[in-house]
């Protein structure tokens, strides 16, 4: 094992376990210093393999640095900092420890130079995120966390099988660009896609994330899906199937978010939608598209966290999460409203917000590759994002009707975290230069051209008109929408109940038949050997001697024959 540098992910993971041992102001300081230390470390690391060794005879490189891994590690560290700032005074220490282990593992994935290391950190992420959901400490969260964990362990098993098949086929452990052509690479791709919330297993995300605590959901929104985007960019750039997977995710997210009533589930569906844009970009696979996906992951983490912080603030102050119970909160929560709107504008990629400078690179890549259908679908989806998240979320939570609720803005640390991320959403939108400078490939793209700005405004404002025109069709109802999780929450449950009922019936019928046979057998023996049986009778001496003589005679005869 050669170690040339400290691993930033491990700093966060090991540091997390110190949190329970310090109290008060010291704990708050440690909470804020750890991710900053990790961030500082990320930017101290030179390019190349910095930790390498062998594990079970396989070459491993737990710390390999390049521009792409540095970009993702940077945003994961920033996210850990802002998430902790938001949650540090309201969340239990268990939640903070779990969140930092989770964030550290995400950084670990982004620096993994080999597939074994990817897998190890992949599983640590699954455990950390499950613990974050547990920390909400409710019956629903407990049940949701188990469904979540099962899906992720399944994904982990598929990934491990894929890595084993890949290594056995002579592919080696090195984590480099692959093509989905062999069993091993297909399984690896599927394992990655499970964490990206790709179909058919998308439902784990809107099922589990909204059950976490207000701060927990903010952490959850950032790491799992975006680490999956990272490994797809690294492992499967240009895999054509990802274009279709991504487009499906985009429209799945929009349609389900339109049907949803729970504000945090709306935002959860919109994570699937946004990850769909990134996955589509990976599928297109040009330098422009990969830059777009990476940049979009970076900006998305910030504005999605901001949106969930504002939803979390509403939940924390009111205890309510359904749109049908909320409305009119802008009057008493001005800061939360403004920050929520900034996040909503950024996710809709309004000009001067961060989403505008990142998402348009993916559309541009579709133009460059002359993918007309993809481009038209992406344009429709951009309008759809404004519809389902950009207006729907702020409208139903902060405006709509007057719910009569007059909660105040949340405590100072939650406000500070929102201000920080709202600032970043605007700053990255106005000055995209620093973000473009750290993208994996050189950027040859100018987002702010007059036609692009005007066209985007037309698309979005008329989408807004469509929202208000269709408003009567979108009256909130106390409903959920069936999804793939119906299979494992209802279908398999009901079929298992039916199976066990019928199975029990068949068992008792068979058992009854067996009993009858055994009794008949015993009765048969009793008839022959019992006190009245033919074999139990006493014989007279004469007849016995006769039978003996006959037997001996037969023996003598057989002997000579």
Partner 1 sequence: MSDAPGTSSQQKHWLVRPENIRKLWILFIVVLAGVALLDFVIHPHAEFGIDGTPFFYSWYGFATCVGMVMFAKLLGIFLKRADTYYDD
Q: Residue 127 or 480: which CB sits closer to partner 1?
A: 480
Q: Where on the phi/psi map is residue 445: left (φ > 0), alpha (ψ -120 to 50), or beta?
A: beta
**Which position among 19, 282, 387, 417 is part of the footprint of partner 1 (CB under 8 A)?**
387
Written as six digits, the tokens of 283 are 């599928």
Residue 468, H or E segment: helix 450-469
Q: What does DSSP assign to residue 262? A: B
**Which position among 331, 495, 519, 544 is part of the footprint of partner 1 (CB under 8 A)?**
331
For residue 55, the cross-strand partners are 58
Concatenating the DSSP letter of every residue in 484-510 gives: THHIIIIIHHHHHHHHHHHHHHHHHHH
For residue 58, the cross-strand partners are 55
Q: Residue 104 in contact with residue 127, Cβ under 8 Å?
A: no
Pairing of strands 2-3, 48-55: antiparallel
Q: Residue 256 or 298: which CB sits closer to partner 1?
A: 256
**Which position among 372, 416, 504, 551 is part of the footprint of partner 1 (CB under 8 A)?**
372
Using alpha carbons, select from 414, 407, 399, 404 the residue that is nearest to residue 332. Answer: 407
Q: What does DSSP assign to residue 114? A: B
Q: In whole angstroms, how close is the CB of 61 to partner 1 at the nearest point?
A: 42
Q: In whole angstroms, how close is the CB of 251 to partner 1 at the nearest point?
A: 8
- Contact positions with partner 1 (CB under 8 A) in 129-158: none
**Which position among 479, 500, 519, 544 is part of the footprint of partner 1 (CB under 8 A)?**
479
Q: Residue 331 or 519: which CB sits closer to partner 1?
A: 331
Q: Residue 105 in contact with residue 13, Cβ under 8 Å?
A: yes
For residue 54, the cross-strand partners are 59
Written as six digits, the tokens of 61 are 């490189």
Segment near partner 1 (CB under 8 A); pick from 249-257, 281-289, 347-355, 434-442? 249-257
Question: Rounded distance, CA 107 to CA 101, Å?
Answer: 10
The answer to the question of residue 59 lying near partner 1 (CB under 8 A) is: no
Using alpha carbons, select from 216, 330, 221 the residue that is nearest to residue 267. Answer: 221
Q: Residue 100 or 209: which CB sits closer to partner 1?
A: 209
Q: In whole angstroms, how close is the CB of 48 to partner 1 at the nearest point?
A: 40
Task: Using CA atoms of 181, 184, 185, 187 in order, give the dihedral in degrees to the nearest 10.
Answer: 110
Q: In whole angstroms, how close is the CB of 345 to partner 1 at the nearest point?
A: 15
The answer to the question of residue 99 lying near partner 1 (CB under 8 A) is: no
The answer to the question of residue 199 lying near partner 1 (CB under 8 A) is: no
**Which position among 122, 269, 375, 393 is part of the footprint of partner 1 (CB under 8 A)?**
375
**Which position among 77, 254, 323, 346 is part of the footprint of partner 1 (CB under 8 A)?**
254
The answer to the question of residue 451 lying near partner 1 (CB under 8 A) is: yes
**Which position among 55, 244, 330, 488 is part of the footprint of partner 1 (CB under 8 A)?**
330
The answer to the question of residue 500 lying near partner 1 (CB under 8 A) is: no
Q: Residue 114 or 262: which CB sits closer to partner 1?
A: 262
Helices of type H across 88-182: 93-111, 115-134, 139-168
Q: Residue 70 or 321: which CB sits closer to partner 1?
A: 321
Q: Residue 90 or 318: which CB sits closer to partner 1?
A: 318
Question: Rounded distance, CA 85 to CA 89, Å?
Answer: 8
**Which position among 150, 454, 514, 546 is part of the footprint of partner 1 (CB under 8 A)?**
454
Segment near partner 1 (CB under 8 A); pick from 16-24, 167-175, 291-299, 325-333? 325-333
Q: Residue 295 in contact with residue 260, Cβ under 8 Å?
A: no
x/- contact string, 337-366, with partner 1 (CB under 8 A)? ------------------------------
Question: Rounded distance, CA 274 to CA 74, Å?
Answer: 20
Question: Rounded distance, CA 31 to CA 35, Å?
Answer: 8
Question: Rounded distance, CA 491 to CA 483, Å?
Answer: 12
Residue 44, H or E segment: none
Q: Residue 158 or 345: which CB sits closer to partner 1?
A: 345
- ω before 200 within 30° of 0 (cis)? yes
CA of 173: how far to CAs of 61, 300, 361, 464, 553, in Å? 9, 31, 32, 49, 85
Radius of gyration of the chain (CA): 32
Question: Rounded distance, CA 308 to CA 338, Å?
Answer: 13
**Which position among 384, 410, 429, 447 is part of the footprint of partner 1 (CB under 8 A)?**
384
Secondary structure of residue 62 in the 3-state scheme: strand
Segment near partner 1 (CB under 8 A); pick from 172-180, 186-194, 465-473, 496-504? 465-473
Segment near partner 1 (CB under 8 A); pick from 62-70, 163-171, 251-259, 504-512? 251-259
Q: Residue 164 or 380: which CB sits closer to partner 1?
A: 380
Q: In whole angstroms, how close is the CB of 233 to partner 1 at the nearest point?
A: 25
Question: Rounded distance, CA 332 to CA 11, Å?
Answer: 41
- Contact positions with partner 1 (CB under 8 A) in 261-290: 261-262
Q: In whole angstroms, how close is the CB of 370 to partner 1 at the nearest point?
A: 8
Q: Residue 449 or 538: which CB sits closer to partner 1?
A: 449
Q: Residue 116 or 317: which CB sits closer to partner 1?
A: 317
- Contact positions with partner 1 (CB under 8 A) in 395-424: 399, 402-408
Question: Rounded distance, CA 21 to CA 19, Å?
Answer: 5
**Which position among 142, 431, 462, 499 is part of the footprint of partner 1 (CB under 8 A)?**
462
Q: Residue 73 or 391: which CB sits closer to partner 1?
A: 391
Pairing of strands 2-3, 58-65: unpaired
The answer to the question of residue 318 lying near partner 1 (CB under 8 A) is: yes
Q: In whole angstroms, how close is the CB of 299 to partner 1 at the nearest point?
A: 21
The answer to the question of residue 459 lying near partner 1 (CB under 8 A) is: yes
Q: In whole angstroms, how close is the CB of 34 to partner 1 at the nearest point?
A: 34
Interacting residue ranges for partner 1, rule: CB under 8 A: 251, 254-255, 258-259, 261-262, 317-318, 322, 328, 330-331, 367, 372, 375-376, 379-380, 383-384, 386-387, 399, 402-408, 450-451, 454-467, 469-470, 473-474, 477-483, 489-490
């Amino acid at each position: 094992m050669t170690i040339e540098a400290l691993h930033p992910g491990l700093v966060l993971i090991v540091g997390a376990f110190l949190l329970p041992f310090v109290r008060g102001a010291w704990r708050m300081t440690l909470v804020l210093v750890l991710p900053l230390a990790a961030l500082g470390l990320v930017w101290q690391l030179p390019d190349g393999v910095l930790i390498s060794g062998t594990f079970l005879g396989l070459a491993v490189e737990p710390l390999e640095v390049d521009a792409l891994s540095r970009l993702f590690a940077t945003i994961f560290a920033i996210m850990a900092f802002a998430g902790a700032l938001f949650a540090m005074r309201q969340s239990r220490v268990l939640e903070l420890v779990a969140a930092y282990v989770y964030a550290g593992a995400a950084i670990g994935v982004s620096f993994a130079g080999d597939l074994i290391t990817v897998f190890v950190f992949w599983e640590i992420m699954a455990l950390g995120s499950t613990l974050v959901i547990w920390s909400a400490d409710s019956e629903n969260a407990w049940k949701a966390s188990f469904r979540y964990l099962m899906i992720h362990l399944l994904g982990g098993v598929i990934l491990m099988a894929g890595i084993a098949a890949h290594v056995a086929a002579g592919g080696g452990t090195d984590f480099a660009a692959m093509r989905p052509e062999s069993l091993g690479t297909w399984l690896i791709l599927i394992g990655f896609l499970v964490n990206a919330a790709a179909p058919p297993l998308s439902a784990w995300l809107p099922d589990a994330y909204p059950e976490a605590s207000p701060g927990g959901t903010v952490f959850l929104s950032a790491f799992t899906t975006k680490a999956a985007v990272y490994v797809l960019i690294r492992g499967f750039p240009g895999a054509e199937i990802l274009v279709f997977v991504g487009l499906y995710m985009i429209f799945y997210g929009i349609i389900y978010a339109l049907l949803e009533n729970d504000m945090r589930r709306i935002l959860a569906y919109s994570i699937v939608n946004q990850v769909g844009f990134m996955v589509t970009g990976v599928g297109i696979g040009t330098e422009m598209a990969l830059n777009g996906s990476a940049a979009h992951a970076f900006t998305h983490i910030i504005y999605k966290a901001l949106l969930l912080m504002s939803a979390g603030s509403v939940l924390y102050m009111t205890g309510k999460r359904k749109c049908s119970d909320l409305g009119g909160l802008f009057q008493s929560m001005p800061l939360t409203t403004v920050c929520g709107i900034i996040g909503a504008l950024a996710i809709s990629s309004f000009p001067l917000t961060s989403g505008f400078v990142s998402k348009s690179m993916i559309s541009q890549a579709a133009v460059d590759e002359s993918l007309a259908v993809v481009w038209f679908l992406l344009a429709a989806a951009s309008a759809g994002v404004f519809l389902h998240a950009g207006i729907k979320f702020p409208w139903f939570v902060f405006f709509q009707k007057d719910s009569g609720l007059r909660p105040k803005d949340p405590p100072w640390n939650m406000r500070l975290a929102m201000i920080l991320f709202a600032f970043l959403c605007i700053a990255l939108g106005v000055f995209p230069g620093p973000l473009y400078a750290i993208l994996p490939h050189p950027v040859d793209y100018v987002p702010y051209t007059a036609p692009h700005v005007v066209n985007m405004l037309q698309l979005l404002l008329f989408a807004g008109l469509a929202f208000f025109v269709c408003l009567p069709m979108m009256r909130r109802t106390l409903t959920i929408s069936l999804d793939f999780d119906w299979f494992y929450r209802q279908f398999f449950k009901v079929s298992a109940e039916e199976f066990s009922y019928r199975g029990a019936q068949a068992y008792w019928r068979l058992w009854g038949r067996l009993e009858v046979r055994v009794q008949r057998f015993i009765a048969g023996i009793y008839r022959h050997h019992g006190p009245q049986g033919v074999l139990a009778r006493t014989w007279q001496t004469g007849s016995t001697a006769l039978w003996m003589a006959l037997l001996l005679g037969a023996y003598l005869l057989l002997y000579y024959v």
